Amino acid sequence: MSQQRHGSTPGNAGAVPAFPDLPEATIARLPEYLRALHHLAETGADTISSEGLAAAAGVNSAKLRKDLSHLGSYGTRGVGYDVALLVDQIEYILGLDQRRAVCLVGVGNLGHALAGYAGFASRGFRIVALFDADPARVGEQINGLTVRHFDELPRVAAAEALAIGVIATPANAAQAVADGLVAAGVTSILNFAPCVLSVPPGVDVRKVDLAIELQILSFHEHRKASLTALPGGRENAGGQEAVGS
Amino acid sequence: MSQQRHGSTPGNAGAVPAFPDLPEATIARLPEYLRALHHLAETGADTISSEGLAAAAGVNSAKLRKDLSHLGSYGTRGVGYDVALLVDQIEYILGLDQRRAVCLVGVGNLGHALAGYAGFASRGFRIVALFDADPARVGEQINGLTVRHFDELPRVAAAEALAIGVIATPANAAQAVADGLVAAGVTSILNFAPCVLSVPPGVDVRKVDLAIELQILSFHEHRKASLTALPGGRENAGGQEAVGS
């Protein structure tokens, strides 16, 4: 079995560094593997073949083996991967052993739903603070948390070691919120506002734009319709398109 | 100006086909360009340089020029791109001139928020139907629409020419919902449930998993912390990571 807990000393030729430099697409697939592995663990599986795990995660098995080789995990021929060990390795790489503190800014329609989303807690995160700039919303209780005024962010950030800020404000407020988060020491931002944020080096931003996802599907609808309309038109073999891949 | 309305005859060597075969990453960026162009049009701009548009969309300008060249748009040296024409071209390619009908299945916490999200309507889509399997939710009014039982899907799909189905159910219900959507003739699915859907060829699925986005940010937090901790550790130059790129 060539799965190792955290790899070996950084910089050693031929060894897996303590913190591997992973392709962005691999990083985006690790959470999918983790979700599938947790599900397998719940069903009592101790080991899983690369084909089985690939199918459960919706990727092809060659890609999966390559992704996991970046972590120093090659499985065992004829046996596959040790489920518990691989969970441990991926959670370590993703830093999920830390249960990072998340704050959410903007408790309108979407922010309200995000604040109540059980999936954050079950998958390694603690939402510790909710903020809004609207005095009418300050003091509101959502899922056991009290909405605070955004002016309180610096104090809360210091007290709670906030790691990730989620922006669910309208687009015209998002840059100011991002600036406030960065000033308060937050270095990762998940942005739901439909706009591009400008942040200094060292701050990571991920963006989820729900209308863009529909527009991409609209493209595929349009493409499929044009293929059907052409002489000899063929249907495309569609399938899963994971966000971030 | 070498921007053309829809390109020319398909299959002609050297010509832009009526429906270009675009890289997936280009498709995912076109909505970003469109959003930036709409914003520019609102501010009264008639033309925009590739650098200006690239900055507004948060990509580098070489990538933008390459993306737009796939559409047959090269702009004019010293002038840039015609904003109105480029809006027209991108909306055509994305099929947004059709105002596609969208249904939403699952009106829990997240589904409720999505049903009320104004960004869908303003960016080319009509939410025409809401479904849930819970009889207690059927009949509820959300944003002017009445929640119907999922059993009514086939009838509604036929009447409304549903193009896109949005799944906002728990993970354990999502596959059955996807099967129902496909059986009703829906060929594009946006899946918010944290699971992998299996669909036949010709059906496109996009997936938005909010916890995965946080897990990717957690990776970057972990990576940054490990760089800081190493002797000679450096901060990574972070920045925008658009979903789907």
Top-confidence residue, A10 or A201: A201
Mean pLDDT of B211-237: 76
Q: Collapsing DSSP states into helix, strand and coil, what is residue B136?
A: coil
Gap between the Cα atoms of A230 and B10, Å rounded: 9
Q: Do A100 and B194 touch (CB under 8 A)?
A: no
Q: Do A244 and B240 touch (CB under 8 A)?
A: no
Top-confidence residue, A227 or A194: A194
Give the residue on A whose Cα is nearest the Cα of B172: A39
pLDDT in tens, B63-96: 999 999 998 888 888 889 999 999 999 999 999 9
Mean pLDDT of A155-171: 94
The chain-wide mean pLDDT, for chain B, equals 85
Give the residue on A whose Cα is nearest the Cα of B186: A221
For A213-232, b where at least 16 C-beta lie within 10 A, e where not — what string?
bbbbbbbbbbbbeeeeeeee
Q: Do A215 and B102 touch (CB under 8 A)?
A: no
pLDDT of residue A229: 65
Q: Do A18 and B226 touch (CB under 8 A)?
A: yes
pLDDT of residue B6: 46
pLDDT of residue B234: 44
Topology of A24-93 in CATH?
A: Arc Repressor Mutant, subunit A (1.10.10)
Judging contacts by C-beta atoms under 8 Å, the chain A residues touching residue B238 are 187, 199-205
Q: Do A220 and B119 touch (CB under 8 A)?
A: no
CA distance B197 to chain A (A): 7
Topology of B24-94 in CATH?
A: Arc Repressor Mutant, subunit A (1.10.10)
Top-confidence residue, B199 or A16: B199
Q: How many A×B Cβ pairs under 8 Å? A: 291
Asked if A167 and A106 touch (Cβ cutoff 8 Å), the reply is yes
Top-confidence residue, A30 or B1: A30
pLDDT in tens, A22-32: 898 999 999 99
Provide the strand spans (E) within chain B: 47-48, 81-82, 100-105, 125-132, 141-142, 145-149, 162-167, 188-191, 204-207, 240-242
The closest alpha carbon to A54, from A46, A45, A65, belongs to A65
Query: Residue A244 contacts by C-beta under 8 Å, 6 or more apart in sequence?
Result: A24, A25, A28, A206, B212, B213, B216, B241, B243, B244, B245
Q: Collapsing DSSP states into helix, strand and coil, what is residue A74?
A: coil
Domain ranges of chain B: 24-94, 99-210
Asked if A153 and A131 touch (Cβ cutoff 8 Å), the reply is yes
Q: Do B116 and A109 touch (CB under 8 A)?
A: yes
pLDDT of residue A1: 41
Judging contacts by C-beta atoms under 8 Å, the chain B residues touching residue A207 are 240-243
Give the residue on A whose Cα is nearest the Cα of B9: A230
Give the percent of chain B with pLDDT over 90.
Answer: 65
Confidence of residue A13 (pLDDT cuts 50, 70, 90): very low
Q: Which residue among A28, A36, A218 places its CB closest to the CB of B95?
A: A218
Mean pLDDT of B199-222: 92
Asked if pLDDT for residue A66 goes beyond 60, the answer is yes
Q: Do B243 and A242 touch (CB under 8 A)?
A: no
Q: Which residue among A188, A218, A223 places its CB closest to the CB of B100?
A: A218
Q: Which residue among B95, B189, B207 places its CB closest to the CB of A243?
A: B207
Asked if A27 and A204 touch (Cβ cutoff 8 Å), the reply is no
Judging contacts by C-beta atoms under 8 Å, the chain A residues touching residue B124 are 211, 214-215, 218
Query: Residue B188 contacts by C-beta under 8 Å, 6 or more apart in sequence?
Result: A217, A218, A220, A221, B163, B164, B165, B203, B204, B205, B206
Asked if pLDDT for residue B239 goes beyond 60, the answer is no
pLDDT of residue B241: 44
For the entire predicted model, the pTM comes to 0.81
CA distance A58 to chain B (A): 6
Q: Do A238 and B95 touch (CB under 8 A)?
A: no
pLDDT of residue B117: 81
Mean pLDDT of B96-103: 91
Q: Do B112 and A113 touch (CB under 8 A)?
A: yes
CA distance A8 to chain B (A): 14
Asked if pLDDT for residue B41 goes beyond 50, the answer is yes
Q: Do A188 and B220 touch (CB under 8 A)?
A: yes
One-letter amino acid identity for B38?
H
Asked if residue B108 belongs to a known ligand binding site, the reply is yes
Whole-number CA gyration radius for chain B:
21
Q: Which residue among A56, A217, A241 places its CB closest to the CB of B164?
A: A217
Judging contacts by C-beta atoms under 8 Å, the chain A residues touching residue B30 are 215, 219
pLDDT of residue B237: 42
Asked if pLDDT for residue B240 goes beyond 80, the answer is no
Question: Domain B99-210 classified CATH 3.40.50.720?
Answer: yes
One-letter amino acid identity for B134?
D
